[in-house]
Structure 1
Amino acid sequence: MGSTPLQGRRRFLGAALCGTLAACGGSDSNGDESRPAPVPDKQINDAIGQLDKLAADLMSSPGVPGMAVAVVRNGQTVYTKGFGTRLVGSGQPVDADTVFQLASVSKSVGSSVVAHQVGSGSVTWNTPVRAHLPWFTLSDAEVSEVVQIADLYSHRSGLPDHAGDRLEDMGYGQTEILQRLRFLPLHPFRGSYFYTNFGLTAAAESVAIAAGIDWATLSEQVLYQPLGMSSTSSRYADFAARSNRALGHVKVNGKWVQGLGTMPDAQSPAGGVSSSVNDMAKWLAMMLGNGVFNGRRIVEEKALAAATSAQVQSAPPGDGHPASFYGYGFNVGTTAANRPSYSHSGAFGVGAATNFLVVPSTGVAIIALTNGYPIGVPETLTAQFFDLVQFGSIQRDWAKLYADAFASLSKPEGSLVGMTPPASPLPARALSTYAGTYRNDYYGPIQVVDQGGSLVLSIGPRPMLLPLTHWDGDVFTFTLVNENAAPGTISKASFLSDRVTLEYYDEDGVGTFIR
């Protein structure tokens, strides 16, 4: 996903925010070096004591509709609080039991499920995905045979950035998306890092099949129930049924309004968990306990340690920041105080932003969940908090750093965005010239239909009906708004003889459809 500190081009963000921004990167250790000096208790207590004000400041500027925060220290929950509202205009307050969608923080939670299965002997991190998901196929036959759970959980399989996400937006289900990944060109296997929701999902599904149950049930049985996480689920239907749930919001004309919502069951292991901060505090306590919670072993320590150890470089050093690393579903590295850490962010463009940060040598972890689209609020809070824990004062203008980093996520896509239509465009051909059914192995067929003198594009299994507007000659345009297409996105539809190339769907060179 490139080399910028903000990993993840758009939604389901979360490979996320290292280098100059998050407290990760700069080390491939998991804490085996000499232990840093203890942080004074007073410094930690003072940091916790400032959370109310830090959160209140962020709620007012840049602002989000609602936020919940929890801090765990030495295995105990020492701070939980909700701020703002679950739904703008409803008067419904957020509290520590309010359930939020976690987005890509689900990857870290799910990784601990896999670690449990590794510890139980059901699989290993190095088990080939095909051992239990034999139909899983990539475009390289040799890679297909050997790609492991570890490769997909560390995003080093060679699949391109966010492979499969746009298929999900089109309405395809999980199995269909995973099967279509075989049509995508691969980057170097184990020699590149590209963040993928559906690659990781394939690995998790293989683990679930090995266990003989579905992923959501496996997560319940080995993690949520043993930890007492009664408000946590990997099924969207459970989130939708919660009376105390935070609904997603986006900004329109500078005001927060309810977003479209997203049902991420197709990639549940990567982005489908919902939970409260009271529940997530229990998970963080287990993580700080190296797999032990309230004196009970939940996850085998060695399997969990592998997940929070650097497995691949996620971004090279540059612009004054060190290299960033990724484990199995976790960002890992060291803080500015040279303390080993691990973390993850999550975001839905239609209204969720989440972040947790763990610094084991301090015995402290924090999580912040919000119901506004990603503008950097939870990351700012966790970074400010750990500055106070480690240094006694906030070291950087985190709000500005994160706001600048996240600004690109809300930008519309397309080479024609902001362009003025030609004053004297070349005329289009007769509309019947363009009409017909066009095939594409990866995206499936599309239809171009003349409806009363205007062309309409029909795409996806739902299908989506997208009016085409003439631009110039054989080039038409259409607009999209969905999880991966920010408002204002414009795509070209360029016709040539028996084919049409859809710019928005051509990011990996597979956007040409043939009649």
Structure 2
Amino acid sequence: MDLSPDRRVLLKSIGLGAAGIAGISVLSACTGETAHPASQASASLLPVPPGQIEPLLDRAKVTNALAKLDGLVQDAMGQTGLPGMAVAVVYQDEVVYAKGFGVREVGKPERIGPDTVFKLASVSKPLASTVVAGVVGRQLIKWTDPVIESDKGFALKDDYVTRSATFADLMSHQSGLRTASGDLLEDLGFDRSYILSHINQEPLDTFRSSYNYSNFGYTAGGEAAAKAMKMSWEDLADQILFRPLGMSASSYRNSDYEKASDRAAIHVPLGNKQWAAKYHRDADSEAPAGGASSSVRDLAQWLRLQLGNGSFGGKPVIDPTALQTTHVPHAVSGPASSPAARSRFYGLGWNVSYDDQARVQLGHSGAFNLGTATAVAMLPGEQLAIVALTNGRPQGIPEAITAGFLDAAQHGAPTVDWLAFTAGIFKQLDDSEKPKVDYSKLPSNPAPARPNNAYTGTYANSYYGPLVVLDQDGKLALKMGPAGNPTTFPLAHFDADTFSFESMGENGNGLAGALFAGSGGGTAPSVTLDFYDKTGLGTFTRIS
């Protein structure tokens, strides 16, 4: 999901990004509802088949909640200054709400509507599992097939895992790839092919008994499904999902987002309710996991498909058994912390949980630190779903809207100040992401550096590729990234053989350190970049 590694770990621990409170799971956790009496009735009296849960909502309750939705959105935007948002609601196979609020870009007059295209970030994942379910339904693959049978180039660090990892393993984050594996390569500009061919250097956690949210593990599953169909991932999504549902504004290509005439720019907060459109975010390399763009009008059609068990407009589109497999728990994403607590689960591209009435809840959040936050939430047994898309850096806003709406549908009005709740969680996450070393605070008496030529030269790294340290008019800089489009990072002296540079991209979190080995005379034999060394791969060895 397109968050910094620390943010992802914490989001997963509380459930916002991949496991639980994305919209509706927060609701059941905080409202303390008791079991509905009808659930205890005899099977012969139930209005639904045995083993299913009787719906507790009706159209009047949903209509009442819809009447409050404008106010929820306007209040959230007023409190935060968020530039824009779009929301859609589906109930009983009908799009009962689709509306835009605010502007596409700060300082420009164009308004957001239900057809405005947003970057989806990790809401791309449940879209992607729908696409792969379409391939499963065509009997070209099974969820339990090893992906290497479809993608001969697939490889992870352990040979057994490489041979055994299935589509379900990868798309439930149980391959053993750790959170953020490959993400820093993406930030540097490497493409999907390079990243997927290098994640076999990433250390693995325990296979199938650990849960680690991994964008590129998920992407590897989607890519293998596309190869089984002998087409690109982007074309596969068009053929299986977007065209059959008439989702003409939806795509897994960044170029399609960029050329859309009605699109929302991405924004970061400047403070005091001010926002700026400072960045671009190209997520093509992780397209199945985070590269989709769409409008709420399009996504409402997809939600109809989800609630319709794979049928759309009365016609089957996705095999219902294959689709239902994405909705059931595959991994324990948040083990219960006490005997009375609930565990949280991850399906295939969906957070899965159960409320006090035993109703299944499905949802997912998406977030780009460079300027996008999204959320989708469903109560399938109630035939009710909501999606909220925003054009601002994650602060818990779409999660507050989806949770607030579903809370109002069940209780007449929100029972929790959802924005305060989710904003507080995101503030904790932001505070947790500060670098371990504050390179902005120089030592009171720093040791001098060696001459520049002790550091300049070329250093090799099998994961990140070569790094070149340059002397530019007496000041050092390092250059790394794809050969055709490397990034240059100016270096500032910190202390002795340690320099600082500004980290970049989706995972950037301020100043980082370049720690050159050796001391005294001679040239440095190696350099370690602490920001790129989170899994022990950040040391570059001099070759010239």
Verify same fold: TM over 0.5: yes
Secondary structure of the equivalent of 1:226?
A: coil
Larger deviation: 418-427 or 65-74? Answer: 418-427
The question of 1:227 aligning with 2:277 is answered no
Structure whose alpha-carbon radius of gyration is higher:
2
Task: Give how far 1:305 is off.
Answer: 0.8
Deviations 1:239-271 (A, max 9, x none): 111111111111124311113111111111111
Alignment of 1:11-26 (within 5 A): 14-18=17-21, 22-23=25-26
| TM-score normalized with structure 1 length | 0.94
Q: 5+ unaligned residues in a row in structure 1: which ranges?
A: none
Task: Give how far 1:19 is off.
Answer: 8.9
Match of 2:521 in 1: none
Distance 1:53 1:370, change over 3 A: same
Match of 1:447 in 2: 468
CA contact (8 A) 2:27 2:403 kept: no
Task: Give how far 1:64 is off.
Answer: 1.1
Match of 1:472 in 2: 495
- Choose which of 43, 46, 49 in structure 1 pairs with 2:64: 46
Distance 1:347 1:403, change over 3 A: same
> C-alpha distance in 1, partners of 2:435/2:397?
27
CA contact (8 A) 1:18 1:324 kept: no
> C-alpha distance in 2, partners of 1:322/1:209?
38
Match of 1:67 in 2: 85
> C-alpha distance in 2, partners of 1:308/1:64?
32
Task: Give how far 1:480 is off.
Answer: 2.0
Match of 1:106 in 2: 124
Match of 1:302 in 2: 321
Match of 1:92 in 2: 110
Deviations 1:331-386 (A, max 9, x none): 11123554211001111111111101000121110000110111111100000011
| TM superposition outliers: structure 1 runs of 4+ over 6 Å | 1-5
Match of 2:36 in 1: none
What amino acid sits opposite 2:529 in the alignment? L
> C-alpha distance in 1, partners of 2:13/2:332?
14
% identity of equivalent residues: 41
Match of 2:452 in 1: 431
Deviations 1:26-46 (A, max 9, x none): 9xxxx9844145224322110
- Choose which of 161, 175, 198 in structure 2 pairs with 1:180: 198
- Choose which of 138, 149, 157 in structure 1 pairs with 2:175: 157
Deviations 1:185-234 (A, max 9, x none): 10000111111111111111110011111111111111111111111111
- Choose which of 165, 171, 192 in structure 1 pairs with 2:210: 192
What amino acid sits opposite 2:386 in the alignment? I
Task: Give how far 1:397 is off.
Answer: 2.1
Match of 2:392 in 1: 372
What amino acid sits opposite 1:79 in the alignment? Y
> C-alpha distance in 1, partners of 2:265/2:50?
41
> C-alpha distance in 2, partners of 1:414/1:66?
31
Secondary structure of the equivalent of 1:162?
A: coil
Distance 1:329 1:58, change over 3 A: same
> C-alpha distance in 2, partners of 1:393/1:179?
50
CA contact (8 A) 2:350 2:363 kept: yes
CA contact (8 A) 2:100 2:112 kept: yes
Task: Give how far 1:465 is off.
Answer: 0.8
Match of 1:6 in 2: 11
Task: Give how far 1:463 is off.
Answer: 1.1
Match of 2:233 in 1: 215
Secondary structure of the equivalent of 1:228?
A: coil
The question of 1:503 aligning with 2:534 is answered no
> C-alpha distance in 2, partners of 1:19/1:96?
22
- Choose which of 286, 292, 312 in structure 2 pairs with 1:293: 312
CA contact (8 A) 1:5 1:18 kept: no
CA contact (8 A) 2:117 2:294 kept: yes
> C-alpha distance in 2, partners of 1:454/1:264?
33
Distance 1:25 1:173, change over 3 A: farther
> C-alpha distance in 2, partners of 1:32/1:328?
26
What amino acid sits opposite 2:532 in the alignment? Y
> C-alpha distance in 1, partners of 2:360/2:456?
58
> C-alpha distance in 2, partners of 1:425/1:177?
38
Matched residues, number: 507
The question of 1:352 aligning with 2:352 is answered no
> C-alpha distance in 2, partners of 1:207/1:420?
49
CA contact (8 A) 1:475 1:492 kept: yes
CA contact (8 A) 2:28 2:356 kept: no
> C-alpha distance in 1, partners of 2:267/2:387?
20
Distance 1:261 1:336, change over 3 A: farther
Task: Give how far 1:392 is off.
Answer: 2.2
> C-alpha distance in 2, partners of 1:49/1:20?
19
What amino acid sits opposite 2:409 in the alignment? V
What amino acid sits opposite 1:485 in the alignment? G
Match of 1:128 in 2: 146
Secondary structure of the equivalent of 1:106?
A: helix
Distance 1:438 1:24, change over 3 A: farther
Task: Give how far 1:20 is off.
Answer: 10
Secondary structure of the equivalent of 2:239?
A: helix
CA contact (8 A) 1:23 1:335 kept: no
What amino acid sits opposite 1:281 in the alignment? A
- Choose which of 172, 188, 193 in structure 2 pairs with 1:170: 188
The question of 1:362 aligning with 2:397 is answered no
- Choose which of 382, 385, 399 in structure 1 pairs with 2:419: 399
Secondary structure of the equivalent of 1:161?
A: coil
Deviations 1:378-433 (A, max 9, x none): 10000001111122231222112211222255455422237621111111122222
Match of 1:417 in 2: 438
Q: 5+ unaligned residues in a row in structure 2: which ranges?
A: 30-48, 519-524
Secondary structure of the equivalent of 1:365?
A: strand
> C-alpha distance in 2, partners of 1:226/1:267?
24
| TM-score normalized with structure 2 length | 0.89
CA contact (8 A) 1:64 1:372 kept: yes
